[in-house]
Amino acid sequence: MPLLRSPSARRQLRAAAAAAASWPRPWRRCRASLGAGSPSQRLISTPIFYVNGPPHIGHLYSALLADAMHRHRQLLGQAGGRFATGTDEHGLKIQTTAAAAGTSPERFCDRVSAKFRELFTQAGISYTDFIRTTEPQHKRAVEHFWTTLRDRGWLYRAYYEGWYCTAEESFLATSQVTERPDALGRRHVVSLESGHQVHWTKEENYMFKLSEFREPLLRWLQERKLAITPKPFYQQVLQWLEQDLPDLSVSRDRARLWWGIPVPGDPTQTIYVWVDALVNYLTIMGYPEGHRAWWPAACHVVGKDILKFHAIYWPALLMAAGLEPPEQILVHSHWTVQGQKMSKSLGNVVDPWACFRRYSVDGFRYFLLRQGVPERDGDYYDEKAVKLINSELADALGGLLNRCTSPSLNPSSTYPGFSEACFPRDSGGSGKASVEDYELVSSVGALPQQVSSHFECFQIYKALEAIVNCVRQTNGFVQRHRPWKLSREDPEQQLWLDTILHVALECLRVYGTLLQPVIPAMADKLLTRLGVRSPAERSLSNVDFLSRYHGKKSPFEGRTLGPDAGLLFPKLKKAKDGS
């Protein structure tokens, strides 16, 4: 808490309110949250990752969510959008960890940042920009941002006194800390949220007049109900704003924290690592010159632990610098492991590379995105992952593809023809299709729209649930009509057999198309097997499910299927120790 607050500057408050009132408020036009604005000029970002340790599955999850959102936008035809990620390399935490490792922070950061890049490449994270906060253009952007805040009168010098948590790189109020004994019975003051030790710090710093942005922030959130999604997190931010909003210390004494960007014009101070880090979103957009074409069409994917920084500090800093808050902040919860928080001391930090070896990249991508519910923490353990992946990818989806492309049912290996006589549009007619078959056609027809709505609301797991329900319905359809009992010798039966296969392959084509953002390699394998090769045929705008049923031509009918590259997903074995 600052000892010296800014004098109650009503004039400043009026200025902040006036600045907020005069914005063009682009959020008004994006009622549907993601989907408005110029599609080619939109940014999706991950948080930038601390390099004090190697990446774990929690980091991967943040990146995967953003990747799936970005890929889904591309599927919708928004090709020019950008997707940024990177590493957060300054601050006390990195300075101390590098020293403990007996190396320079530069070398330490190079090594760990490369690990993140390596992980993202292997995981298929399709980023367009990778930023490191130690890069010169970022330093330039941060200096410019700082100078703007200073010149607009939002910074002042004061003695700061309060608790600092190095692990969280954040200042905590007395209500956010508690005293706890360690293993040796020594009492320490720790952060209530993370359990990490905090230290009392007292020094002269620069303060940011955050307290004056309470009302502009409230107004922004009242007008932009979807700015923070999902809703419980929006409510959480409103609750924070109902409490006291003290000014924020935004620099540290350089004698203690030298691994960071010096305050312009004052070499005795280092810019607070969170101000430095948040500005990365502008650096990517070419700030201070090129960002205007993009900003504020930015959508930040963040974990719940860093919500306050993104939903309060960042919009306030932006307003202070004369810029608008980001279009949207998408918030996710955390992964625990066998019911426990991941931590180095418990030795249960899960290595993503080990997961790729165990489940394959797409298998693990599927697990995290299918099981991860943004509003709730998810729990990972091997048996759960194996069960889910085997049942949904190997059995339901892989089994369906295998059945419908098997040489015994489809000896010519072509996309079979559709018979309107067998499956007439009028369900009361004389065809062979049952009521459930018409339900299937209607479910799969509605699926792309349903999936897109779930993506827009950042409910990727619901999109996957909807897809898997349709996959199961399609398996039921094939099972119900037993095409293997039909004879190709009998022309009437052959027509029906081909129609069954045509419908099933059309369903599979829709699933393959929709699954591209989540399991890109497996979706590619599936679509290639169906003979759906070109990017245009794989886009959502051309999905045109079961066009023959709707009385139109099908570009796929009669086409030779792609080569058989083996099982879509070979079943995973249970762990020997049953863990």
Any contact of residue 335 with ligand MSP (CB under 6 A)?
Answer: yes
Any contact of residue 233 with ligand MSP (CB under 6 A)?
Answer: no
What single-letter amino acid sits at 9? Answer: A
Smallest distance from ligand MSP to CB 56, Å = 7
At 104, give phi and psi (nearest 5°).
Answer: -80, 150
Q: Which CB atom, from 301 or from 440, has the smaller least distance to ligand MSP?
A: 301
Q: Which CB atom, from 9 or from 350, has the smaller least distance to ligand MSP?
A: 350
Return the residue of 282, 302, 441, 467 that touches ligand MSP, per CB under 6 A: 302
At 177, give phi and psi (nearest 5°).
Answer: -125, 160
Length of the chain: 579
**How far apart, in whole angstroms, are the C-alpha atoms of residue 417 and residue 356?**
39
**How far apart, in whole angstroms, are the C-alpha atoms of residue 83 and residue 437?**
40
Q: Is the dihedral of CA 370, 37, 296, 136 positive or negative?
A: positive
Smallest distance from ligand MSP to CB 62, Å = 4
Three-class secondary structure of residue 511 per DSSP = helix
**How far apart, in whole angstroms, are the C-alpha atoms of residue 351 and residue 118?**
13
Give the nearest residue (CB) to ligand MSP: 303
Contact 339, 379 (CB under 8 A): yes
Return the residue of 16, 33, 34, 58 that touches ligand MSP, per CB under 6 A: 58
Contact 208, 247 (CB under 8 A): yes
Smallest distance from ligand MSP to CB 406, Å = 41
Any contact of residue 50 with ligand MSP (CB under 6 A)?
Answer: yes
Residue 30 CB neighbour total at 10 angstroms = 17
Stretch that binds ligand MSP, among 46-54, 198-206, 239-247, 479-487 (CB under 6 A): 46-54
Any contact of residue 154 with ligand MSP (CB under 6 A)?
Answer: no
Contact 212, 440 (CB under 8 A): no
**How far apart, in whole angstroms, are the C-alpha atoms of residue 530 and residue 505?**
7
Residue 86-115 contact track with ligand MSP, rule CB under 6 A, x = bound: --x---------------------------
Alpha helical stretches, state H, 321-459: 352-359, 361-371, 382-389, 399-405, 435-456
Any contact of residue 278 with ligand MSP (CB under 6 A)?
Answer: yes
Smallest distance from ligand MSP to CB 19, Å = 23
Taking CA atoms, 226 is separated from 73, 213, 398, 412, 457, in Å, by 18, 20, 37, 51, 9
Smallest distance from ligand MSP to CB 228, Å = 14
Number of residues that bind ligand MSP (CB under 6 A): 19
Q: Which CB atom, from 96 or from 427, has the smaller least distance to ligand MSP?
A: 96
Any contact of residue 342 with ligand MSP (CB under 6 A)?
Answer: yes
Return the residue of 123, 306, 355, 444 that touches ligand MSP, per CB under 6 A: 306
Any contact of residue 326 with ligand MSP (CB under 6 A)?
Answer: no
Among candidate residues 301, 306, 303, 259, the one with its CA nearest the CA of residue 67: 301
Q: Residue 181 is inside which H or E element, if any?
A: strand 177-181
Any contact of residue 48 with ligand MSP (CB under 6 A)?
Answer: yes
Q: Which CB atom, from 59 or from 502, has the smaller least distance to ligand MSP?
A: 59
Q: What is the dihedral of CA 342, 348, 354, 355, to 10 degrees?
A: -50
Return the residue of 59, 117, 370, 538 that touches ligand MSP, per CB under 6 A: 59
Residue 534 in tokens:
């070109």
Stretch that binds ligand MSP, among 55-63, 145-153, 318-326, 460-468 (CB under 6 A): 55-63
Three-class secondary structure of residue 130 per DSSP = strand
Q: Is 344 exposed, middle or buried (0-12, 13-18, 19+ CB in 10 A)?
A: exposed
Stretch that binds ligand MSP, among 57-65, 120-128, 206-214, 524-532 (CB under 6 A): 57-65
Smallest distance from ligand MSP to CB 54, Å = 11
Return the residue of 161, 305, 524, 544 that touches ligand MSP, per CB under 6 A: 305
Chain residues 258-277 in contact with ligand MSP, contact rule CB under 6 A: 277
Q: Which residues bind ligand MSP (CB under 6 A)?
A: 47-50, 58-59, 61-62, 88, 277-278, 280, 302-303, 305-306, 334-335, 342
